[in-house]
Each structure stands twice: as structure tokens, then as C-alpha cells.
Amino acid sequence: MIIGEEVLHYDITDSTNNEAKRLCEKEVVHGRLVVADRQTLGRGRRGREWLSSNNDGIWMSYILEPSMKPVTASTLTLVAAMAVAKAVTETTGLKVGIKWPNDIVCNDRKLSGILTEMQSEDDKVRYVVIGIGINVDTEGFPSELKEVATSIYMESGYKISKSDIIKHVSIYLEKYYNEFLATCDMAGLKEEYEALLVNLGRQVYADDGREVKEYTAMGINEQGELVVKDACGNVKNIRAGEVSVRGIYGYV
């Protein structure tokens, strides 16, 4: 099935990622898309909550069934970020970029986040769920998010059709997913990803849970790792999930 060809729409669910995983326990249907108007338990990365109890954003999860190893499939989160960035720009005219590995940002504030989860058996992926949250009509955020979050409405002043954005995300996810499948890495997508990478050439703090170090972001490698350089010129690759990255002057 083409990605996004089948859409299951819910008025409300706990989390579209949870719903997608429940569906996969019965049957894995590649390309199936789960969309909800509201989530009661929206989840973000690193165990954070994702604000999605209002019908003012796109809360959706794609089910994919790639035949590859989990370590390869984890890079699909970068592929999804490209699809969201491209779709938002095309439907809104806003200039957006990607904060590595998969936050979509506009004017240095987060517009969209992605939570990729998977199930595997014997080092082979059974399914991947790519959960995407896009702040669309949000008119304001609580004080703790004010400095870091934004929405399409806040950036453009317009209320844009959510279904149009979803359609474009699906089209671009299908395109980039197939390009990724050709080599099972970012070789064919690296240049386009780096053109969207807002961290490029900027100072970043990398936090591996033990220590925080400062680097300059140089780009990504074919595995989707962030290539960074320290003050002495030593180059290092940082893997998403193991290390979190933030800007030294703020979120980006």
C-alpha cells in the first residue's frame, strides 16, 4: 500500500502511537495512517508529555513494515522529519528547518515533533510506528513552552487545512521512504537533509546523560548520526536516542 492511502480517523484516543501499536498486534498493514483530533495521553520523546488534548493540531501515526534491522529502521525518523518539513513549507509557505534528529522548527521554535517506536524480533523489524505532532492552529502555549514552541497559525497568521498538510506529508514520506530503501541509509537524502538542518555550523551541547560537551555541528553521516567537531578539531558521530542535542543560546 502507498503510505497514507488508508486513513483511520478517531475523534479521540489516548495516543495515536498507542492506537497504531494496538492495531499492529492484530495485523501489520504497511502505510496505514492513524489520525486523531485529540489525544488524552499524547507522548513525546524521552518520556515527556505532548500537549494534544485540543483539536488544534495534527496528531497522527504512520505504520510501516520495512524489512531491515532495528538500527537501520531507527534512521527513518530523520526521513519522516524531511517529509514534514517539506509538506509544511509547501502548504504554508513558511520557511522551516530540522533540528537534528527530527524536530521541525520555524524561527528557532519547535513546530512539530516525531516519536518513532518499533517492535522487532530476532534483530528484524516487525513494524515501525512514526508518530507525528504538528502544532497547526494553536494560538498560544503555557508559559513553560512559550520560548520553545510555535504553531503554523502563530507563524503565518493563517488557519491552514489540516487534511491538506496530512496529504502532503504522506506524499513526501512515500517519496523519501523509497529513496531511503534504495540504499537503506541516508546516502541519497543526506544533501537534502543537510539543506534543512538548522544546527549546521552552529554550536551545540551534546548530553549523553553523564556529561554535557560543546561542539560545532558539521552535518550528518549516512547512518543519520550527527557529525560534530570539538574545540580541538576532533570529529565525532552522535547517535540519536543516545545523546540529546540543544543549542548553546537556546533550543536550537
Residues 147-186 that bind ligand BTN (CB under 6 A): none
Residue linked to cell 498507542: 18
Told to check if 135 binds ligand BTN by CB under 6 A, we report: no
Strands 7-13 and 33-39: parallel
Return the range that interacts with ligand BTN (CB under 6 A); candidates 42-50, 73-81, 161-169, 185-193: 42-50
In this chain, which stretch among 54-62, 79-87, 191-199, 231-239 interacts with ligand BTN, using CB under 6 A?
54-62
Sheet holding 203-207, edge to edge: 235-238, 226-229, 212-220, 203-207, 244-247
Of the residues 3, 4, 8, 15, which one makes contact with ligand BTN according to CB under 6 A: 15
Number of residues that bind ligand BTN (CB under 6 A): 21
**Gap between the Cα atoms of 169 and 174, Å rounded:** 9
Closest approach, Cβ 18 to ligand BTN, in A, equals 7
**Cα–Cα distance measured from residue 60 to residue 52, given in angstroms and rounded to the nearest whole number:** 11
Among 31, 66, 133, 224, binds ligand BTN (CB under 6 A): 133
The rounded distance, in Å, linking the Cα atoms of 187 and 193 is 10
In the chain, the DSSP E strands lie at: 7-13, 33-39, 57-64, 97-99, 103-106, 109-121, 124-135, 203-207, 212-220, 226-229, 235-238, 244-247
Instruction: Return the range that interacts with ligand BTN (CB under 6 A); candidates 127-135, 161-169, 175-183, 241-249.
Output: 127-135
86 touching ligand BTN, by CB under 6 A: no
Distance CA 214, CA 73 (A): 28
Single out the residue of 3, 4, 8, 16 in contact with ligand BTN (rule: CB under 6 A). Answer: 16
Q: Which of 21, 56, 59, 206 contacts ligand BTN by CB under 6 A?
A: 59
* Among positions 43, 86, 99, 109, the unique one binding ligand BTN when judged by CB under 6 A: 43
Whether the bond between 101 and the residue before it is cis, its omega within 30 degrees of 0, is yes
Q: Please choose, out of 24-32, 46-54, 70-78, 120-128, the segment that lies near ligand BTN by the rule CB under 6 A.
A: 46-54
Q: Which helix (H) or strand (E) holds 20?
A: helix 16-26
Binding site for ligand BTN (CB under 6 A): 15-17, 39, 42-45, 48, 50, 52, 59-61, 103, 113-115, 131-133
